[in-house]
A and B are shown apart, each in its own frame.
Chain A
Amino acid sequence: MVTAVTSLGRSGLSDWLLQRVSAVVLLAYFILIGWVVASGIDYVGWQALFATAWMRVFTLLAVLSLAAHAWIGMWSVLTDYLTERLMGTKGNVLRIGLQLCISLLLFIYVIWGVQILWGN
């Protein structure tokens, strides 16, 4: 059972809380984006919105929340289905490999997000 070592907080309670806090941040962020897009914004307005400090900070918070939320969520799914019990040793190898790919991708997201927000 090599599952706990790849969890984000190394503790079930920590992951549980982090999953909920990041969920609320993401929900608030997607409601804001949905509302802005539905109101029919143009490029000038869009650019101006993302030039404000609060929107950049909120977006970075959302990207960090996405990274944590996806890590914990994908961990929960992978440790349930790609397991030694269901697939033998192959399950462990496949799961750890996928988790490494996912964490690398999420790390790239954070850098990409910073580059989008402060790169220009």
Chain B
Amino acid sequence: MKDNRPVNLDIGSMRLPITAWASISHRISGVVLFAASFGMLWALDISLASAEGFARLGELLGSVPAKVALWAVGTALIYHSLAGIKHLVMDFGIGESMEGGILGSRLVIAASVIISVLLGVSLW
């Protein structure tokens, strides 16, 4: 592979279109979920270890900071899932045009905001 090809990708100099926002958010939510995965496995471990552990986890997740964290991770999971489904749909050749990409990004972002708000309401 040629390594000396010119690259003009000064992201800072561009106004990002909605498709780019959808893409970078997919990446950010993925990194957030990777960071949260340790906590998920820990929660599974403690919840199955004993009845006391299960109760303690329930108590812990009832506190305000834990609820905020739970909501943030839940929102990342919702967005990452919907953006992933959009990818799968596009893999089948649906919405691969510029207009399709823009519409898909709008749908994914709008649906994520709505479900994320609903998750927040059900948590509080």
Contacts and interface: CB of A to CB of B under 8 A. Distances in A.
Interface string A12-47: 000000001001100100100000001000010011
Contacts of A70: 34, 37
Contacts of B20: none
**A: contact size bracket:** 20 to 34
**B: contact size bracket:** 20 to 34
A85 interface: yes
Given A46-B47, A73-B30, A116-B45, A66 B37 contact: yes
Interface string B25-54: 001001100100110010011011101001
B91 interface: yes
A106 to B, nearest CB: 9
Contact of B84 (A27, A38, A43, A85): A27
Interface of A: 1, 20, 23-24, 27, 30, 38, 43, 46-47, 50, 59, 63, 66, 70, 73-74, 76-77, 85, 102, 105, 109, 112-113, 116, 120
Interface of B: 1, 3, 7, 27, 30-31, 34, 37-38, 41, 44-45, 47-49, 51, 54-55, 77, 81, 84-85, 87-88, 91, 122
19 contacts: A20-B88, A20-B91, A30-B81, A43-B51, A46-B48, A46-B54, A47-B48, A59-B44, A66-B37, A70-B34, A74-B31, A77-B30, A102-B34, A105-B38, A112-B41, A112-B45, A116-B44, A116-B48, A120-B49
